[in-house]
């Protein structure tokens, strides 16, 4: 009878040991997966570092020059990555003539005069445009004004325009409060 009780105790201990071992393996595997997922979430950007390339290529050049080391270590110079110099091709983009004066933005020959900014779930801007049939037009963020000029952002007091083909930006403020422009009246 005692032998059967001891066997049961040993079986229970082995079963408990096996369960604990499974739990440890499960939690370690779970932690390892979350660690890998956390690393893959980030977007890494690889940039060319010319100084680092000079250092690396100085060692590669030494490997190419020293033929005996290449034979001893079985290094083939053809396997070493060589980067060709890239030629920069600059596309000549015809710049659009844009003039900004007070609250009027002129793109080529068409002028847009800011009438106001209003809020209807989003900010909208109303413009008076000369030379078209319906002279009043309303724009929202992302709308194209003319050619490649788009409205980037509209705030309560300002509008920022951006040229899609270049980095140029223009800003119009609805109210320009500059106290240095105004002088108090002089009384006699």
Q: Are residues 105 and 143 in the same domain?
A: yes
Whether 123 and 147 map to the same domain: the answer is: yes
- pTM of structure: 0.45
Domain shared by 165 and 114, yes or no: yes
Note the pLDDT tens digit of each residue in 61-75: 665 555 566 666 666
Separation CA 159–CA 114 (nearest Å): 10
pLDDT of residue 162: 92
78 and 107 inside one domain: no
Encode burial over 90-120: b for 16+ CB neighbours within 10 A, e otherwise: eeeeeeeebeeeebebbbeeebbbbeebeee
Please, which residues have CB within 8 angstroms of residue 145's CB and are 6 or more apart in sequence?
A: 105, 107, 112, 139, 151, 161
3-state class (DSSP) for residue 97: coil
**How many CB atoms lie under 10 A from the CB of residue 23?**
10
Under 8 Å between Cβ of 161 and 150? yes
Does residue 107 share a domain with residue 59? no
Q: For 41-62, how does the pLDDT look when each residue is reduced to its tens digit (9 = 90+)?
A: 556 566 777 787 777 777 666 6
Q: Which of 30, 64, 86 is the last residue of a domain?
A: 86
Tens digit of pLDDT per residue, the chain (188 long)? 566 677 788 888 999 999 999 999 888 877 665 555 555 555 656 677 778 777 777 766 665 555 566 666 666 555 555 555 555 555 555 678 888 888 898 988 888 999 989 988 899 999 998 877 788 889 999 999 888 889 999 998 889 999 988 888 999 988 766 666 666 667 65
**Together in a domain, 102 and 62:** no
In a domain, 15, yes or no: no
Number of domains in the chain: 2
Instruction: Answer whether residue 141 is part of any domain.
Output: yes
| pLDDT score for 126 | 92
Q: Are residues 155 and 122 in the same domain?
A: yes
Range of the domain at 145: 98-173
108: left (phi over 0), alpha (psi -120 to 50) or beta: left
Instruction: Name 170's Cβ contacts closer than 8 Å, sequence gap at least 6.
Output: 98, 100, 105, 160, 161
> Exposed, middle or buried by CB within 10 Å (0-12, 13-18, 19+), for 149?
buried
pLDDT in the model for residue 1: 55
Residue that finishes a domain, picked among 33, 56, 86 = 86
**Given this model, what pLDDT does residue 43 score?**
61
Asked whether residue 108 is domain-assigned, the answer is yes
pLDDT given at position 75: 61
Distance set, CA 43 to CA 34, 37, 39 (Å): 17, 12, 9
Q: What whole-number distance in Å separates Cα of residue 149 and Cα of residue 99?
A: 12
Structure confidence at residue 141 (pLDDT)? 92
Q: Tell how strand 149-154 and strand 144-146 pair up.
A: antiparallel
């Amino acid at each position: 009878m005692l032998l059967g009780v001891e066997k049961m105790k040993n079986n229970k201990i082995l079963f408990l040991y096996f369960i604990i071992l499974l739990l440890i393996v499960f939690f370690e595997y779970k932690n390892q997966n979350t660690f890998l997922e956390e690393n893959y979430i980030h977007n890494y950007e690889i940039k060319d570092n010319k100084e680092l390339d000079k250092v690396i290529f100085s060692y590669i050049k030494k490997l190419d020059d020293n033929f005996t080391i290449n034979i001893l270590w079985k290094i083939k110079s053809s396997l070493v990555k060589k980067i060709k110099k890239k030629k920069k091709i600059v596309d000549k983009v015809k710049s659009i003539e844009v003039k900004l004066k007070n609250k009027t933005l002129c793109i080529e020959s068409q002028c847009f005069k800011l009438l106001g900014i209003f809020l209807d779930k989003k900010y909208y801007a109303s413009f008076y445009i000369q030379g078209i049939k319906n002279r009043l037009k309303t724009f929202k963020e992302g709308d194209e004004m003319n050619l490649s000029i788009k409205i980037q952002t509209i705030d309560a007091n300002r509008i920022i325009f951006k040229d899609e083909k270049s980095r140029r930006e223009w800003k119009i403020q609805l109210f320009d409060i500059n106290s240095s422009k105004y002088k108090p009246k002089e009384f006699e």
